[in-house]
Amino acid sequence: MDRAPSFRARAHRFWGRHRKLFWMGHSVWGLATGVAVVVLARERYAFVPWVIVFLSVTWLSTMFFGRHPGAAATPPAAPSDADGVPGLADELASYVTRILYQETLFFLLPFYAYSTVPRSPNVLFLALFGGLAVFSCLDLAFDRLLRTSAVFGLVFFATVAFAAINLLLPMVIGLDPEVATPVAAVAAVASALPLSIHAGASGWGARVRLGLAAGTILAVAIGLPGVVPPAPLRMTSATFASRIDQGTLELGDTLVSGGAATAADGPLIVLVQVFAPAAVPTSVSLEWKRDGEVLRTTRGVEIVAHEAGFRVWDSWRPESNGVPSGRYTVTLRAHGSRVFGVAELRVGSPSP
C-alpha cells in the first residue's frame, strides 16, 4: 500500500506549481517598494554608511550559501531536486540577498541622480545604475542570470559596491571625488572577484572573462572619470547678472538661470551655488559657451566644501560694447572632466 505523500512533499509540489506566479507578483511589489525607497531616500545622507553594512551582509551570505557545487556568482539558489525547484533554504537565501541588492540600488539611485546633468557623459552611469535597479526587481530573470553568469555577478556586485564606496569616501573621510572614484573601483572589483571565483567560475576561460570584466570596470572608472557623477556634489542654483560685489557676492539686476534677458552693457556674471553634505575637497572650473562656441574656460579652483556647500562665480566680458544676443551656457566641472551643473541664459537684442 502506497504511503500518502508527506506534508513537506505536498508543500514542495504546491510551491513548484505556483512559484513563477509568486515571484512575478513579488517583482511588482519589489518595484513599488523601490520607488518608495527612492522617494524616502531624498537627503538621507546620514544613512549612507549603512549601505556598506548591507553590502557586507550580502557578501558574507553569498560566500556562505554559495558553497554548493556548480553555483555561480550571486545569489546562490541551486536546485535541490530533479524537478529543478529550489529548496526552501535556497529560496530564502536568494530572496534575502535580492532584497538587500534591491534596496541598496534604489537607495543610492537619487544621490547619483542629484549630481547627473542631462546631455552629459555621466548620464550613462545613471542609466546603467537605474537599469540594474529595475532589473533586480525581475526576480526570476535576475536570479537565473546571477546563478548562471559569473561575469554578470561580478559586474553587478562591483557596480553596486562601487556606487556605495564612491559616495561614502568623500562624506566620511573627506576624500576628493577625483581620488575616491579609482579607490572605490579597486575596492569594488577586489570584493567582487572572490564571489565569482568562489561561486564556481573555474577554468581558464571563465577566469579570462572575469579578468576582462574586472579590467573594463577599472579602465572606465580610472580612465573615463567623466562618466561618473561627482557625487555628493551637486549644483543647486545659478544666477546671472551684470554686477557683483566681490566681497559679499551680492548681485545687481539679477537674471534667473534658464530665463531670457536683453543685452547688457557690462560683463555677464554667473553665481553658482553648490551643495555638499560634508567637507568635500574638489577643484572646480567653469566653461562659458555662446550658441555652442567656447568663449572662456577658467582654471581649476581648489575648494573645500562644507555642510552648507559653497558658491563660485565668474564673469565674461565681450570685446565690444554690449553682450551679444544668443544662448549662453556655463558648465560647472570638477577637475575639468566631471560635469555636475549647467546654467543657461538666453540674451535677446535690445528693444529699439
For helices 150-173 and 204-223, what crossing angle results, to 10°? 30
Q: What's the Cα-to-Cα distance from 58 to each of 121, 129, 148, 164, 226, rounded to whole Å?
A: 30, 18, 18, 13, 29
Q: How far apart are CA 165 and CA 185, in angstroms?
A: 8
Q: Strand pairing partners for 270?
A: 240, 314
- Predicted confidence (pLDDT) per residue in 224-268, tens digit: 888 999 888 889 889 898 888 888 888 877 776 665 566 566 788
Domains of the chain: 7-227 (no CATH), 234-348 (2.60.40.10)
Q: Which residue has the cell 553594512?
A: 53
Residue 229's contacts (CB-CB under 8 Å, 6 or more residues apart) are: 112, 114, 115, 116, 117, 122, 125, 126, 338, 340
Predicted confidence pLDDT, tens digits, the chain (352 residues): 455 567 666 666 766 666 677 777 767 777 777 777 777 767 777 777 778 887 887 777 766 655 443 343 344 433 344 445 555 666 676 677 777 788 888 888 988 998 999 889 999 999 999 999 888 888 788 878 877 788 888 888 899 999 999 998 988 888 888 899 999 999 999 988 887 776 655 667 777 888 888 899 999 888 888 899 988 888 988 989 888 888 888 887 777 666 556 656 678 889 999 988 888 888 899 999 999 999 999 988 888 777 678 889 999 988 777 788 889 999 999 887 889 899 998 887 654 4
What is the three-state SS of the chain? Answer: CCCCCCHHHHHHHHHHHHHHHHHHHHHHHHHHHHHHHHHHCCCCHHHHHHHHHHHHHHHHHHHHHCCCCCCCCCCCCCECCCCCCECHHHHHHHHHHHHHHHHHHHHHHHHHHHHCCCCCCCHHHHHHHHHHHHHCCCHHHHHHHHHHCHHHHHHHHHHHHHHHHHHHHHHHHCCCHHHHHHHHHHHHHHHHHHHHHHCCCCCHHHHHHHHHHHHHHHHHHHHCHHHCCCCCCEEEEEEEECEECCCCCCEECCEECCCEEECCCCCEEEEEEEECCCCEEEEEEEEEEECCEEEEECCCEEEEEECCEEEEEEEECCCCCCCCCEEEEEEEEECCCEEEEEEEEEEECCCC
Q: Which residue has the cell 566644501?
A: 305
- Predicted confidence (pLDDT) per residue in 320-344, tens digit: 777 888 899 999 998 878 898 999 9
Q: Are 136 and 27 in contact (CB under 8 A)?
A: no
